[in-house]
């Protein structure tokens, strides 16, 4: 058994210790005589796993008391519909309107889905510059009375990350919630949850296996659902039932809980941020120094988690990926919509993995440059 | 490590061999250098896992070629909303109407959720007799033009199972699809898929971990969705993208695939049926012979998978459950809505487990009877 360094954008690499513990506990969790996958979700054993995972996530991210943490299903793509269904029931406009800031593939997908339920105002977009920068808040052309404002704080495909939190009271809209897809950089550094009405995402980047969705929602927003919202996706129902209105994805929650414990053991989000900064500097630093590779995202919004880059000579791509794989550098392909290379360097990727990638980049450039 | 016999209604016991293989492959699947949880869902490795799982399920259940097998999220409870959203777009009635046969907790929950989207006609109900029998098809009072007819073929809580498949062309409604929640007895025996328009359920009983939903849908029904149906839950979209429109619950699909392989190695559904009949006969046989325990479901519709029963003296329940646990007989509590005892004896429960339970029932009766 030889594990590679796995740069998948998600489902992505997980901490070795987490996987080892999961394997060890597979047949019998803590002397209960059964594995976690086989436990009734309403039994004492699983309830303790669920509650611990929620508490740890709250502690790590310093989630204020007036926010609920929900574990759901369907991923961020399902939430793209679930969000309007949960927030449009309280909107002065008829038909209701929601504002979207489009900064890449994922926020664009979000606004397209929302159009099933409301009018969408694209308050700002960086598409004209190929999603290589972030429109400043002063440039946002917000509606008069939107039901909410939606952003994606880290674009997994285009590699664009917000390093500032929008300050909505400053633009005179204290009651309009800011909704953020934080799928691919949650837990990579501290964030000020209180700036958001809703933070959501799929777990399969920095948290755990696919099939689990997290929603962190301010309590006063739980009364805004449309009647067409399915019960299992109505945040209020999920909150009132502590994420157990229906059977939750129990094993995914368990793995997420192990990841939260691993984060706590390793110094929490400040320590993660320090390591993530070091990893990103190492990789971007090399790319900037090279004329063989190129990146396009502006420096002030380059994602620390997802680093898309290109070989100047596209014809070398196949050779590049084959060589990488032979070095144990896995899943480096860029997304089909943009091509090129993408290194996703989530929390579970050690600095040594990024170093191995940079070493390979240098070798490949030396041979083919 | 001592594994008990686990009678949980779901998430439920899994085959030991499956868990052992999963534990062994946790860090490295087939020499890829990564675990299944860490694989991009669009990579070759996971695609092979997904396709094999679909093929094996099709083979086991003899799913005809004109049916699609979808792996989704949200469980059967989410499908209760997803079904009307997928089938009401084609209904002669305004507002549309759907017919429900109510035979226990779960079919009742299904019809309640459907009321968000359409008028519901309760075509038959066994509630008046406390869900202890199944209304015959001749008794169903169907609507003139329902969008579909919904049944639950095994009621996990009330322990009622259909051993006959409704024959809708016989009542003159060839174009009205029969929709069945088969969550808790799928793969326990062969079923004639062609009698159904849609079969669906959560995986966490006879298939695998919670967090995965299966939908087996006849292709001609894929064009009936309402525009409010979220993209990720629109069967046509899911089918066109081979269950990969969004990130699927990859690890749950992998475990399901291991269970399908286990079923094939062990003789498929005919062999399972034989063993399930033997297990049910052993348990019901003992209960029928006893004056200490009682069951209420009529003999012709007693579930082979979920056996609810009661001690005549309720006051002994706590002692009963504590004693069972000390014998390694786990998760026998009845559902909170009905109380008493429930033994769920899915495919992965060996005959030896049922024998151990019967031995305990006899001992307990001898001491307390």
CA A12, A70, B109, A90 dihedral sign is negative
Give the separation between CA A228 and CA A223, rounded to whole angstroms: 14
Record: contact A211-B248, CB cut-off 8 A = yes
Give the separation between CA A214 and CA A25, rounded to whole angstroms: 24
Residue B174, preceding peptide bond in cis (omega within 30° of 0)? no
* Nearest alpha carbon to residue B159 among B10, B286, B297, B282: B297
Give the separation between CA B356 and CA A289, rounded to whole angstroms: 70
Contacts of A346 in chain B (CB under 8 A): none
Each domain of chain B, given as residue ranges in start order, spans 17-265, 267-368
Distance separating the N- and C-terminal Cα atoms of chain B: 34
Residue B333, token pair as written in the block: 């509590």
Active site residue B65: no
> What's the Cα-to-Cα distance from A272 to each of A47, A59, A154, A215, rounded to whole Å?
28, 15, 16, 22
* Nearest alpha carbon to residue B217 among B121, B113, B79, B81: B79
Record: contact B247-A28, CB cut-off 8 A = no
Backbone angles phi, psi at A60, to 5 degrees: -60, -45
DSSP string, A163-206: -S---GGGGT-TTSPEEEE-TTTTTSS---GGG-SEEEEESTTT
DSSP string, B216-234: EEEGGGTT---TTS-GGG-
Record: contact B247-A75, CB cut-off 8 A = yes
Q: Which residues touch A204 (CB under 8 Å, ≥6 apart)?
A: A10, A11, A12, A75, A210, A211, A212, B247, B250
Give the separation between CA B103 and CA B91, rounded to whole angstroms: 25
Record: contact A26-B27, CB cut-off 8 A = no
The kind and range of the H/E element at A121 are strand A119-125
pLDDT in tens, B121-138: 999 999 999 999 999 999
pLDDT of residue A1: 58
Which one is catalytic: B56, B99, B108, B181?
B181
Q: Which long-range contacts (CB under 8 A, 24 or more apart) does B22-26 make?
A: B22/A26, B22/B254, B22/B255, B22/B258, B23/A23, B23/A24, B23/A26, B23/A27, B24/A23, B26/A19, B26/A20, B26/A22, B26/A23, B26/A26
Greatest CA separation for chain A:
63
pLDDT of residue B272: 98
Which of B11, B81, B248 lies nearest to residue A230, judging by beta carbons?
B81
Domain A17-265 falls in which CATH fold? 3.40.640
> What's the Cα-to-Cα distance from B167 to each of A81, A257, B193, B218, B320, rounded to whole Å?
37, 47, 12, 16, 43
Half-sphere exposure of A103 (CA within 13 A, CB side): 26
pLDDT in tens, B25-69: 999 999 999 999 999 999 999 999 999 999 999 999 999 999 999
What integer is the mean pLDDT of B104-111? 98
Identify whether the C-beta of residue A343 lies closer than 8 Å to the C-beta of residue A307. yes
Give the separation between CA A262 and CA B9, rounded to whole angstroms: 32
Contacts of B23 in chain A (CB under 8 A): 23-24, 26-27
SS3 B201: strand
Contacts of B37 in chain A (CB under 8 A): 11, 14, 19, 208-209, 255
pLDDT of residue B145: 87
The minimum CA-CA distance between B138 and chain A, rounded to whole Å, is 33
Give the separation between CA A235 and CA A243, rounded to whole angstroms: 9
The kind and range of the H/E element at B5 are strand B5-6
Which one is catalytic: A56, A99, A108, A181?
A181
Half-sphere exposure of B362 (CA within 13 A, CB side): 12
Domain A268-368 falls in which CATH fold? 3.90.1150
To test the contact with chain A by mutation, choose from B7, B29, B32, B35 the residue with the greatest count of A C-beta atoms within 10 A, namely: B35
SS3 B196: coil
Sheet holding B67-72, edge to edge: B67-72, B213-218, B198-202, B178-181, B149-152, B97-102, B119-125
The minimum CA-CA distance between A167 and chain B, rounded to whole Å, is 30
pLDDT band of residue B170 (cuts 50, 70, 90) is: very low
User: Going by DSSP bridges, is the β-strand pair A178-181/A293-294 parallel, antiparallel, or unpaired?
Assistant: unpaired
Residue B330, token pair as written in the block: 């786990």
Asked whether residue B171 carries a pLDDT value surpassing 70, the answer given is no
Strand partners, A31: none
Which of B8, B32, B328 lies nearest to residue A38, judging by beta carbons?
B8
Total Cβ atoms within 10 A of residue A241: 14
Identify whether the C-beta of residue B165 lies closer than 8 Å to the C-beta of residue B195. yes
List, for chain A, all residue ranges whose pLDDT scores fall below the cut of 50: 170-172
Residues comprising chain B, all counted: 369
Domain B267-368 falls in which CATH fold? 3.90.1150
pLDDT in tens, B191-242: 999 999 999 999 999 999 999 999 999 999 999 999 999 999 999 999 999 9
Active site residue B220: no
Give the separation between CA B294 and CA A307, rounded to whole angstroms: 64
pLDDT in tens, B344-364: 999 999 999 999 999 999 999
Residue A136, token pair as written in the block: 């400043």
SS3 B330: strand
Which one is catalytic: B29, B56, B99, B106?
B106
User: Going by DSSP bridges, is the β-strand pair B5-6/B329-330 parallel, antiparallel, or unpaired?
Assistant: parallel
pLDDT of residue B1: 58
Asked whether residue B93 carries a pLDDT value surpassing 50, the answer given is yes
Contacts of A230 in chain B (CB under 8 A): 74, 78, 80-82, 113, 116
A156 labelled binding-site residue:
yes
Give the separation between CA A83 and CA A148, rounded to whole angstroms: 9
Give the separation between CA A137 and CA A168, rounded to whole angstroms: 9
* Nearest alpha carbon to residue B352 among B1, B3, B10, B5: B5
Give the separation between CA B70 and CA A185, rounded to whole angstroms: 30
To test the contact with chain B by mutation, choose from A14, A25, A38, A43 the residue with the greatest count of B C-beta atoms within 10 A, namely: A38
**DSSP-derived secondary structure letter, A333:** B
CA B111, B112, B114, B118 dihedral sign is positive
Q: Which residues touch B145 (CB under 8 Å, ≥6 apart)?
A: B91, B92, B93, B97, B176
pLDDT of residue B174: 53
pLDDT band of residue B91 (cuts 50, 70, 90) is: confident
Total Cβ atoms within 10 A of residue A89: 16
Give the separation between CA B151 and CA B216, rounded to whole angstroms: 15
Active site residue A106: yes
Record: contact A202-B27, CB cut-off 8 A = no
As a whole number, the mean pLDDT across chain B is 95
Record: contact A13-B22, CB cut-off 8 A = no
Contacts of A202 in chain B (CB under 8 A): 247
pLDDT of residue A168: 75
pLDDT of residue B172: 47
């Amino acid at each position: 058994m030889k594990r590679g360094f796995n740069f998948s954008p998600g489902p992505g690499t997980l901490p070795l210790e987490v996987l080892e513990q999961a394997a060890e506990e597979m047949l019998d969790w803590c002397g209960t005589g059964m594995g976690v996958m086989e436990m009734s979700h309403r039994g004492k054993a699983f309830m303790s796993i669920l509650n611990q995972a929620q508490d740890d996530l709250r502690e790590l991210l310093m989630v204020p008391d007036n926010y609920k943490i929900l574990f759901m299903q369907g991923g961020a793509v399902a939430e793209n519909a679930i969000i309007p269904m949960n927030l449009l029931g309280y909107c002065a406009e008829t038909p209701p309107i929601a504002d979207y800031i489009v900064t890449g593939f994922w926020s664009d997908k979000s606004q397209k889905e929302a159009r099933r339920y409301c009018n969408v105002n694209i308050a700002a977009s960086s598409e004209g510059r190929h999603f290589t920068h972030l429109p400043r808040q002063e440039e946002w052309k917000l509606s008069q009375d939107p039901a909410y404002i939606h952003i994606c704080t880290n674009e997994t495909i285009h590699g664009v990350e917000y390093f500032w939190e929008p300050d909505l009271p400053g633009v005179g809209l204290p009651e309009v919630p800011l909704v953020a897809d934080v799928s691919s950089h949650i837990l990579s550094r501290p964030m000020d949850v209180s700036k958001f009405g809703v933070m959501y995402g799929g777990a399969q980047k920095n948290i755990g296996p696919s099939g689990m969705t997290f929603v962190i929602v301010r309590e006063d927003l739980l009364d805004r659902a449309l009647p067409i919202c399915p019960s299992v996706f109505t945040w209020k129902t999920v909150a009132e039932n502590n994420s157990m209105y229906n059977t939750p994805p129990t094993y995914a929650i368990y793995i997420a809980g192990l990841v939260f414990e691993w984060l706590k053991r390793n110094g929490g989000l400040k320590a993660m941020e320090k390591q993530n900064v070091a990893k990103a500097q190492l990789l971007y630093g090399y790319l900037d120094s090279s004329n063989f590779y190129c990146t396009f995202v502006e420096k002030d919004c380059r994602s620390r988690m997802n680093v898309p880059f290109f070989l100047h000579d596209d014809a070398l791509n196949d050779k590049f990926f084959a060589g990488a794989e032979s070095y144990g550098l896995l899943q480096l392909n860029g997304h089909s919509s943009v091509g090129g290379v993408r290194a996703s360097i989530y929390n579970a990727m050690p600095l040594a993995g990024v170093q191995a990638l940079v070493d390979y980049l240098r070798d490949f450039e030396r041979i083919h440059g």
